[in-house]
Amino acid sequence: MKENKTFYITTPIYYPSAAPHIGHLYTTVACDAIARFKRMEGCKVMFLTGTDEHGQKIQQKAKEAGVTPKQYVDEIAGKFQKLWKYVNVDYDRFIRTTDDYHETAVQKIYQTLLNKGYLYKSEYKGKYCTPCESFWTESQLDENGKCPECHREVKEATEEAYFFKLSAFSEKLEKLLTETDFVQPEWRAKELVNNFIKPGLEDVCVSRTSFTWGVKLPFDEKHIAYVWIDALSNYITALGYENDKYDDMKEFWPADVHMVAKDIMRFHALIWPAMLMALDLPLPKKLSVHGYINFNGVKMSKSIGNVVDPFVLGERYGVDSIRYHILREMPFGSDSDYSNEIMINRINSDLANDLGNLVSRTVAMVVKYFDGTLPAEREEGEFDADLKKMAVRLTPAVTSLVDETKLSSALTEIMNVVSRANKYIDETAPWILAKDPAKRARLASVLYNLLETIRICTALLTPFMPAMMPKALEQIGASKEDISFEKLSVFGVLPACVTVKKGDVLFPRLDVVSEIEYLNSVIAPQKEEQNAERAEDEDLDKAGLISIDRFAQVKLRTAQVVACEKVAKSVKLLKLRLDDGRNGRQIVSGIAKWYKPEDLIGKKIVFVANLTPAKLCGELSEGMILSCDCGDSVKLLTVDSEVPNGSTVR
Shortest distance (Å) from residue 212 CB to ligand ME8: 19
Nearer residue to ligand ME8 within complex by CB, 57 or 146: 57
Among 7, 8, 14, 226, binds ligand ME8 (CB under 6 A): 14
Among 261, 322, 363, 498, binds ligand ME8 (CB under 6 A): 261
CA dihedral 102, 105, 109, 111 (to 10 degrees): 130
Shortest distance (Å) from residue 263 CB to ligand ME8: 6
Contact 269, 189 (CB under 8 A): yes
Q: Which stretch binds ligand ME8 (CB under 6 A): 152-160, 193-201, 258-266, 512-520?
A: 258-266
Q: Which stretch binds ligand ME8 (CB under 6 A): 23-31, 134-142, 380-388, 449-457?
A: 23-31
From residue 599, give the alpha-carbon distance in Å to each of 563, 577, 631.
10, 14, 20
Nearer residue to ligand ME8 within complex by CB, 188 or 487: 188
Q: Which of 597, 591, 609 is nearest to 645 (CA)?
A: 609
Instruction: Give SS3 for 565.
Output: strand
Single-letter amino acid, residue 510: L
Q: Which stretch binds ligand ME8 (CB under 6 A): 11-19, 150-158, 348-356, 491-499?
A: 11-19
Site for ligand ME8 in 204-243 (CB under 6 A): 231-232, 234
Site for ligand ME8 in 170-189 (CB under 6 A): none
Single-letter amino acid, residue 460: L
Site for ligand ME8 in 289-328 (CB under 6 A): 292-293, 299-301
Shortest distance (Å) from residue 32 CB to ligand ME8: 13
Among 12, 273, 333, 430, binds ligand ME8 (CB under 6 A): 12
Shortest distance (Å) from residue 565 CB to ligand ME8: 45
Contact 373, 486 (CB under 8 A): no
From residue 24, give the alpha-carbon distance in Å to each of 221, 279, 464, 531, 566.
34, 30, 16, 25, 43
Shortest distance (Å) from residue 204 CB to ligand ME8: 14
Among 26, 136, 241, 317, binds ligand ME8 (CB under 6 A): 26
23 is a site residue for ligand ME8 (CB under 6 A): yes
Nearer residue to ligand ME8 within complex by CB, 300 or 351: 300
Shortest distance (Å) from residue 131 CB to ligand ME8: 10
Which element (helix H / strand E) includes 607?
strand 604-608
Among 90, 142, 263, 379, binds ligand ME8 (CB under 6 A): 263
13 is a site residue for ligand ME8 (CB under 6 A): yes
| Long-range CB contacts for residues 462-465, cutoff 8 Å, separation at least 24 | 462/36, 462/40, 463/32, 463/33, 463/34, 463/35, 463/36, 463/37, 463/40, 464/33, 464/320, 464/323, 464/324, 464/327, 464/407, 464/411, 465/320, 465/323, 465/324
Nearer residue to ligand ME8 within complex by CB, 284 or 314: 284
Nearer residue to ligand ME8 within complex by CB, 300 or 600: 300
The C-alpha atoms of residue 598 and residue 563 are separated, in whole angstroms, by 8
Radius of gyration over every alpha carbon of the chain, rounded to an integer in angstroms: 29
Contact 26, 301 (CB under 8 A): no
The C-alpha atoms of residue 413 and residue 410 are separated, in whole angstroms, by 5
33-52 footprint of ligand ME8 as x/- string (CB under 6 A) = -------------------x
Residue ranges in contact with ligand ME8 by CB under 6 A: 12-15, 23-24, 26-27, 52, 231-232, 234, 260-261, 263-264, 292-293, 299-301
